[in-house]
Amino acid sequence: MSAFTLPLYHPPDFTTEPFLSSPNVTFQNVLVRGVAPEPFHATSIFPEYFQIRRGEWTLLRESRMDCVVALEDTGTLTVKELRHLKPGERIACGRGENGEDGIYVHTHAFRGSEALSDKFQFRSRPTRETSFSTDYDELYNLLKYERTHGFILWVLGPAVVFDRDARESFVSFVERGYVHALFAGNALATHDIEGALYGTALGQDIYSKRSMQLGHYNHLDALNRVRAWGGIEKGIEEGMIKDGIMRALVMKNIPFVLAGSIRDDGPLPEVISDACRAQDGMRAIARKTTTVIALATQLHSIATGNMVPSYTITAEGQIRPVYFYIVDMSEFAVSKLANRGSLTVRSILTNVQDFIVTVSRGLK
Q: How confident is the model at residue 128 (pLDDT cuts 50, 70, 90)?
A: low
DSSP string across 298-352? HHHHHHHHHH--SEEE-TT--EEEPEEEEEES-HHHHHHHHHTT-TT-EEEES-H
Per domain, the residue ranges of the chain are 19-105, 133-363
Residue 133 has pLDDT above 90, yes or no: no
Strand partners, 28: 91
Residues listed for the chain: 364
How far is 74 from 142, CA to CA, in rounded Å? 37
Please give the order of strands across the beta sheet that includes 56-59. 56-59, 48-53, 103-105
pLDDT of residue 340: 60
- 63-74 residue pLDDT tens: 999 999 999 999
Residue 117 has pLDDT above 50, yes or no: no
Q: How confident is the model at residue 125 (pLDDT cuts 50, 70, 90)?
A: low
How far is 259 from 277, CA to CA, in rounded Å? 9
How far is 90 from 315, CA to CA, in rounded Å? 27
- 194-210 residue pLDDT tens: 999 999 999 999 999 99
CATH 3.40.50.10690 assigned to 133-363: yes
pTM tops 0.75 = yes
Which DSSP state fits 14? T
Cβ neighbours of residue 216 closer than 8 Å, sequence gap 6 or more: 202, 203
pLDDT of residue 332: 82
How far is 11 from 221, CA to CA, in rounded Å? 55
pLDDT of residue 118: 47
Which range (8-17, 64-73, 113-122) has the least confidence? 113-122
pLDDT of residue 336: 78
Write 269-273 long-range contacts (CB < 8 A, 24+): 269/226, 269/227, 269/230, 269/231, 269/232, 270/189, 270/231, 270/232, 271/185, 271/186, 271/189
Q: How confident is the model at residue 116 (pLDDT cuts 50, 70, 90)?
A: very low
User: Are the beta carbons of 302 and 278 closer than 8 angstroms?
Assistant: no
pLDDT of residue 105: 97
Cβ neighbours of residue 118 closer than 8 Å, sequence gap 6 or more: none
Residue 247 has pLDDT above 80, yes or no: yes
Q: What percent of the chain has pLDDT over 90?
A: 85
CATH 2.40.420.10 assigned to 19-105: yes
* Cα radius of gyration rounded to whole Å, the chain: 23
Which range (32-46, 275-289, 326-340) has the least confidence? 326-340
- 308-333 residue pLDDT tens: 999 999 989 999 999 999 999 888 87
How far is 257 from 183, CA to CA, in rounded Å? 5
